[in-house]
Structure 1
Amino acid sequence: MARTPKTWAVRTARDRTEAPARARLLDAAETVFARLGYGPATVAGITTEAEVSRAGFYVYFASKEEVFRVLAVRVRDAFLAAQEVPGVDTDDVHAVARASVAAFVAAYARHAALMPLLEQQARTDEDVRALWQEIRERPVHRHARYIRRLVAEGRARPVTEPLAVARAVGAMSVEFARQVAARRIGHAAAVRDVTAMYLQLLQVAPREDEPR
């Protein structure tokens, strides 16, 4: 049965958030922003890429500016989710390091083309600036808390204070993820190398079965 405008109006916020059309629009928006840049990107270009009507766009987003901010939230959430490592033994420092590095490198590589635009828009858009700050700082500070816990439990002796280690690992991960995105190195090689350096910074001895 066709939906009327009234039907759309009474849909719940959860429905709008989880709808497949919304996900297509977000993916399309990221593609268009990455290809054209922020200024030249248009709602029409996004809807064409998504194969969703212009009216369909406005069911989920009020403007180009809003969809860009939602993309910033998605990037932030992807980076935070990379630290969750579900299904990994949290007592196994090596497994946690490898899984979290793998997830972060994959997430950053996926969104690499959007990152310069987020930084650029953060200079003029207060909402994007706040999200950009979260993207840059929340994963780092969460990581530092994890390292402090390892230290307190006697499972790591980092070469310097935990926040500095977290920043260093974050910077290495970003650089390797950029190389992955540019197809200069493979994901597996990036994960292997960053994980090895991360464990060195933690002063955790590599396991015999650790990939080399």
Structure 2
Amino acid sequence: MHEFGNDADRCALLDAAGRCFAKLGYERTTMAVIASSVGISVSELSTYFPSREEVFHAVSASVFDMFLEAQRIPVQPGTDPRVVLGAATAAFIESVFRFGRLFTLIEDRAAVDPVVKEQLETAHGRVLRRYIRFIEGLGQTGAATPCAEPAQLARKLSDAQWSGAERLIDAPKDEQQRFIADITAASERFIGIGGVTELTSRTAS
């Protein structure tokens, strides 16, 4: 894959292409549609991205880069773990809301495109490992009493955040914010911050 001009040009192209994919879906987003969206010819676009598939790979890579960057929460020594958990949970979920239908399209493409599948698995794996380290650290210091093994618990909570956020992509802002608050509170209970470790079937669903 070739680089598209300078960084600003490349970002503009990928942003425009991402909007096209999100609005029209993969099949209806042709090279002509993408080129038109940024005011260049198809032949010029092809110089940088030979196919729609390669454009999509670049778009999804950019999305995951931004998704992972949003998860980098600066933590000062002595910060209340509830604050850290709340910030990380909000960052994760709001990233899904931010990318909206593009995010769900990327997931759909991962089922048929091995490059996108690898991108998705890599991004999810990095977030998951951070979550596991966070839970392990709290358990080791006695700041929490997790209700399950850190890896199992991190995966369940991560999956709940991911799937719940996807369901609420088009929901009103207040409903999205309630979900963030609810899943953060549930995560506190499951991780055992404050000593509460009950895992109810209602919250796990």
Give me the TM-score of the superposition, normalised by structure 2.
0.79
Note the residue ranges of structure 1 that are not aligned, 5 or more in a row: 1-8, 207-212
Q: Which moved more, 1:159-168 or 1:58-67?
A: 58-67
How far apart, CA to CA, are the structure 2 residues paired with 1:59 and 1:85? 38
The aligned residue for residue 89 of structure 1 is: 76
The aligned residue for residue 123 of structure 2 is: 135
Q: Deviations over 1:117-136 (max 9, x none)?
A: 32333333322221122133
Q: Which moved more, 1:47-56 or 1:144-153?
A: 47-56
Amino acid at match of 2:155: R
Equivalent position SS for 1:181: coil
Quickly say closer, same or farther: Cα 1:22–1:156, change in 2 above 3 A. same
How far apart, CA to CA, are the structure 1 residues paired with 2:168 and 2:89? 13
The aligned residue for residue 79 of structure 1 is: 67
Q: CA deviation at 1:59?
A: 6.0
Q: CA deviation at 1:143?
A: 1.1
Confirm whether residue 193 of structure 1 aligns to residue 182 of structure 2: yes
Q: Which moved more, 1:164-173 or 1:194-203?
A: 164-173
User: Is 2:104–2:166's contact at 8 Å kept on the other side of the alignment?
Assistant: no
Alignment of 1:1-212 (within 5 A): 16=5, 18-19=7-8, 21-54=9-42, 57-58=45-46, 60-86=48-74, 88-89=75-76, 91-184=79-172, 186=174, 187-205=176-194
Amino acid at match of 1:89: Q
Q: Deviations over 1:37-59 (max 9, x none)?
A: 21221122123233455465356
Quickly say closer, same or farther: Cα 1:17–1:105, change in 2 above 3 A. farther
Quickly say closer, same or farther: Cα 1:205–1:50, change in 2 above 3 A. farther
Q: CA RMSD in A?
A: 2.6
Equivalent position SS for 1:85: coil
Q: Which moved more, 1:183-192 or 1:47-56?
A: 47-56
Q: CA deviation at 1:99?
A: 0.9
Equivalent position SS for 2:148: coil
User: Is 1:158–1:203's contact at 8 Å kept on the other side of the alignment?
Assistant: yes
User: Is 1:122–1:129's contact at 8 Å kept on the other side of the alignment?
Assistant: yes
The aligned residue for residue 198 of structure 2 is: none
How far apart, CA to CA, are the structure 2 residues paired with 1:54 and 1:113? 25
Quickly say closer, same or farther: Cα 1:107–1:60, change in 2 above 3 A. farther
Aligned residues: 192
Give me the TM-score of the superposition, normalised by structure 1.
0.77
| Percentage of pairs with the same residue | 31
